[in-house]
Amino acid sequence: MSKVAIVTGSNRGIGFGIVKALCQRFDGVVYLTSRDELRGKEAVAKLKYMGLKPEYHQLDIADKSSVEKFRDHIKEKYEGIDILFNNAAVLDTEVDSRTYEDAKRVIDNNYRSIFYLKELIYPLIKNNGRVINISSDCGHLSNIRNEYWIKRLSKPDLTEADVNEFVEWYLESVKNGTYNCDDIADEGTIPSYRVTKVALAALTMVHQRELESKNISVNLIQPGLVRTDLTHGVGFFSVDEAVETPLYLALDAPPTLKGAYVWYDKKVIDWYDSKSDCYFKLSSMSS
C-alpha cells in the first residue's frame, strides 16, 4: 500500500507550501485538506497546474463529524498514515482581544481540535510514523509569565489534564474579567493564540510519551515569521523557505529526534527555558 502524508489546513500559507514540497519529494500520497471545500479544490488545481498530484479531502479539525468522515475515508483507501502535519490554526481577531467568544474560537480550533485528531486519526499512524506540530515563537514556554503555570507545565510527569486546566484557567479568566495581561509576555498581545500554541507544545511532550511504544516521533516546529495571509504579508521568510525545516522533520530527521521544539534553522531549542528570549514580540511584525 502507498505511504500517506496529511497536512491539515493546507489550502494556503505554510500548509500549502508543505503540500507542494511533499508532492515534489515524498514517495507516496499527499493529502491537501481544508475546512472550505471550494478553497481546497482551488488550491489542488493550482498544484495540478504545476504538474503535481495531491489528493484532496474536506477536513474541519474543530468539527468531530468532519474528522470522522476523513478517518473513514483514509481507512477505506489506505492501511494507515505515515506523516501527519498538524498545521491548521486561527489567530486572535485583534492583537489585544479580550472577548470570550474570540478566545473560545481560537481555543476550539487550535487546541481542542487536537483531541479529535488524537482520538480518530492518531490510531491510524503507522509504526515509525511522524507527527509534526506547526507552532511559532508564540509556542515557547517563555510566552507565559505566570510562575505557577510555568512550573506546572514544566513538570516531567505532565498530563493532558494539566494542559487542559491551563487552557481552561485562561479561558475562564477572560470570561469572568480576571485576565491579567502580565501573565503573558509582550504585554499580553495575541493572548489566545499564545496560550493555544504553548498548550500544543506541552501536548507534544505528553503525546510523545504516549506514542513511544510505536516509535512514532512527535515534534514541534517554529518556522519563523513567514509572509502569509495569517501575518498579513509580514515576515522574514517566503513560504518556500519556511517549509525546509518542516520537511526535514518529516523526511530527513533522525528517528531519535522526538518531543523536540525545533527552530526554523533546524536547531533544537530548550522549550522549558522560561527566561529565554524565544517568545513572540509584536514589534517583530513591523521591523
Residue 63: half-sphere exposure toward Cβ, Cα within 13 Å: 11
In 3-state terms the chain splits into helix, strand, coil percentages (rounded to 5) of: 50, 15, 35
Q: Which helix (H) or strand (E) holds 54?
A: none
- Tell me, yes or no, if 193 is annotated catalytic: yes
Q: In this predicted structure, what is the pLDDT of residue 228? A: 55
Q: In this predicted structure, what is the pLDDT of residue 118? A: 97
Q: How confident is the model at residue 92 (pLDDT cuts 50, 70, 90)?
A: confident
The residue written with cell numbers 516531567 in the block is: 156
Domain tally, the chain:
1
Each residue of 131-189: pLDDT tens digit?
999 998 999 999 999 999 999 999 999 999 999 999 999 999 999 999 999 999 999 99
Q: How much is the CA Rg of the chain, to the nearest whole Å?
A: 18
Domain span at residue 204 reads 4-285
Each residue of 191-241: pLDDT tens digit?
999 999 999 999 999 999 999 999 999 999 988 765 555 555 555 667 788
286 has pLDDT over 80: no
Each residue of 10-69: pLDDT tens digit?
999 899 999 999 999 999 999 999 999 999 999 999 999 999 999 999 999 999 999 999
Q: In this predicted structure, what is the pLDDT of residue 234? A: 52
Q: In this predicted structure, what is the pLDDT of residue 201? A: 97
Q: In this predicted structure, what is the pLDDT of residue 126? A: 97
Mean pLDDT of 121-125: 98
Burial class of residue 256 in the structure, from the number of CB atoms within 10 Å of its CB (0-12 exposed, 13-18 middle, 19+ buried): exposed
Q: Which of 111, 170, 179, 193 is catalytic?
A: 193
Q: In this predicted structure, what is the pLDDT of residue 180? A: 95
Q: In this predicted structure, what is the pLDDT of residue 236? A: 62
- Per the CB < 8 A criterion, the answer to whether 90 and 110 are in contact is yes
- Per the CB < 8 A criterion, the answer to whether 128 and 219 are in contact is no
Name the percent of the chain lying above pLDDT 70.
94
Task: Please tell me what DSSP assigns to residue 144.
Answer: B
What is the spatial order of strands in the sheet that 268-269 belongs to? 55-58, 29-34, 4-7, 81-86, 125-134, 217-221, 261-262, 268-269
Each residue of 107-121: pLDDT tens digit?
999 999 999 999 999
Residues with Cβ within 8 Å of 95's Cβ and at least 6 positions away in sequence, in order, are: 189, 190, 282
Q: How far apart are CA 57 and CA 255, in angstroms?
A: 29
Report CA-CA distances (Å) from 55 to 47, 52, 81, 178, 278: 10, 10, 14, 46, 36
Residue 51: left (phi > 0), alpha (psi -120 to 50), or beta?
A: left
88-92, 217-221, 257-261, 273-277, range with the lowest pLDDT:
88-92
pTM of the model: 0.94
Average pLDDT of the chain is 93
Determine the residue type at 60.
D
Q: How far apart are CA 278 and CA 138, in angstroms?
A: 8
Q: What is the CATH number of the domain that holds 211?
A: 3.40.50.720
